[in-house]
Copies of this chain bind each other. A is one copy, B any other.
Amino acid sequence: MPEIDDLKKAGLKTTQPRLKILAALEKSPVRHVSAEDVFKLLLEEQEDIGLATVYRVLTQFETSGLVIRHNFEGGRSVFELNDADHHDHIVCVKCGRVAEFSDHDIEKRQKKAAEKAGFILQDHALYLYGLCHKCARQKNA
């Protein structure tokens, strides 16, 4: 059970809710999910885990580096598993689909820009917004 090791490494007690939430993130058909989404995924599998717990656990996961929290447009947080490979995101403004990309040069330039502004860079969020090819085709609706 690799999930147990993940939790231990994160310094978290291996409880049922935490295991289930981690499994839900892994099994989810969509990689980027809100707390509500996770809650619903668990409901579908008859797992009786409260929404408050989902929020608490996702926040702990974020703190321990297991997941990444995003603040896309729309007000609510979305989460994704933190695989070691860093990447940025492009979100379709019409259908919400999320694609990922990464660009080493952009990263380098970000660090430089931070230094120039007198900051020690700790983190960054780069979100592109646009129309995915499917939505671009159907201008209507």
Residues of A near any B CB (own CB < 8 A): 71-73, 75, 77, 88, 90, 92-93, 99, 101, 103, 105-106, 109-110, 113-114, 116-133, 136
Question: What chain B residues lie within 8 Å of A113 (beta carbons)?
Answer: 88, 90, 101, 103, 106, 128
Contact status A105-B103, CB under 8 Å: no
Question: What chain B residues lie within 8 Å of A133 (beta carbons)?
Answer: 118-119
Contact status B106-A119, CB under 8 Å: no
Copies in the complex: 2
Which chain B residue has the least Cβ–Cβ distance from A74? B71
Question: What chain B residues lie within 8 Å of A125 (beta carbons)?
Answer: 73, 125-127, 129
Question: What chain B residues lie within 8 Å of A121 (beta carbons)?
Answer: 90, 128-130
Contact status A119-B132, CB under 8 Å: yes
Report the separation of the CA atoms of residues A68 and B124 in the bound assembly, to the nearest whole angstrom: 19
Contact status A119-B103, CB under 8 Å: no
Which interface residue of A72, A75, A122 has the most chain B CB atoms within 10 A? A122
A103 to chain B, nearest CB (A): 5
Contact status A129-B123, CB under 8 Å: yes
Report the separation of the CA atoms of residues A77 and B76 in the bound assembly, to the nearest whole angstrom: 11
